[in-house]
Amino acid sequence: MTVTEGGTVNMTCRVEYNDNTSLQWSNPAQQTLFFGDKKALRDNRIELVRASWQELTISVSDVALSDEGMYTCSLFTMPVRTAKAYLTVLGVPEKPEIDGMTKPALEGEQITLTCITQGSKPAADLRWFRNEEEIKGAKEVNASGKTFTVRNSLQLRVDRNDDGVAYTCKVDHVALTQSPQQATEVLEVHYAPRVEITNSLTFPQEGQYLKLECVSKGNPSPDPVMWTKDGGELPDPERMIVEGRELTFTSLNKTDNGTYRCEATNHLGTSSAEYILYVYEVPTTPPPPTTPPPHPTPPDTAVLLDSHASDRTVTDERDPNALGPHGPDHALIGGVVAVVVFVTLCLIIVLGRYLARHKGTYLTNEAKGADDAPDADTAIINAEGNHAHAEEKKEYFI
């Protein structure tokens, strides 16, 4: 039988055949507890539950570790018959305690956290958790009488990430049926500040509203922070308003250009960050384009078919600048015609010069003898009557 320390256990002894002989319960020290229904030991924790010739049941309340051992039920016949039962008492571990927690710890400091629990039987198991994540420590078990003292140590080199972290030690034991025992300590770490500047605009322009925030993280908190411009005080407190960690510009202008510095300090150190502000001019509105954009074809444009002409486009008179769809084709045709005319004129000029250089004489036989005639009539007569050389009449054209 197994019982938790401080609990209650019932011990029952039964016999099938009994000739009216009483049953007896004895403790590990061989002291008689009950003989039949008669109580033999003065111990208020021991009570009779049921007594008959076939059964003897007793109860032990508020069980202590000293109650552990071998219990004997006897039937006094010849020979005496016995039955034995071993009672195991579980030692409940005490609530754990965490030692070594210094508050506050300094960043970079090495500390040792030790979790201790006593009174467990068998030895309890201790586990460490950083928030909800289990971490490993060094366990040590020492016996103290019938119980055990268990330690689990955890060594840490703390940094700013450990600030506010909960370290929990949990006890696991067979006697803890409901929930494990545990202890929790929240680590506080002091560290020097770190500073960065955030801005509300990525492209600040003249006349805009701008807010710079000095984000400083440190423990203790470095409040207040200090704002400076180009190594000196802020020049215009009416437009540059400091509220806590924020620097606000109500209306930017070119005179705000410069380097702004935020500085935070606590007893562990000082940190600063800089922001270079350049205010851009507001872009002017571009002038309207000088060339009107192309117009889409008016909805009332129509195409007419003529029996004496090809397609002709008629446009709406309300748009004098509108061009027909064949306007670019007419310009191209005109250019081609001009080229053809120019080439033709060049050819005529070249041919004329060639003919002028090869010009000849046209002679006929009717004019022969005209040089010797005194007058034209005689020349004609001589020419017409000259039959001697009729067969020689030829024409030459060069």
Note the pLDDT tens digit of each residue in 96-126: 999 998 889 999 999 999 999 999 999 999 9
pLDDT confidence of residue 337: 85
Domains and CATH numbers, the chain: 2-90 (2.60.40.10), 97-187 (2.60.40.10), 192-277 (2.60.40.10)
Please list the helix, strand and coil fractions of the chain in percent, rounded to the nearest 5, in that order. 15, 45, 40
d(CA 137, CA 169): 10
| For range 349-355, the mean pLDDT | 82
pLDDT confidence of residue 210: 94
**Is residue 146's pLDDT more than 60?**
yes
**Is residue 305's pLDDT more than 90?**
no
d(CA 168, CA 187): 11
Do strands 105-106 and 189-199 pair parallel, antiparallel, or not at all (unpaired)? Answer: parallel
Per the CB < 8 A criterion, the answer to whether 379 and 369 are in contact is: yes
Per the CB < 8 A criterion, the answer to whether 208 and 201 are in contact is: yes
User: Per-residue b/e over 18-48, b at no fewer than 16 CB within 10 Å?
Assistant: eeebbbbbbbeeeeebbbeeeeeeeeeebeb
Percentage of the chain modeled with pLDDT above 70: 78
| pTM > 0.85: yes or no | no
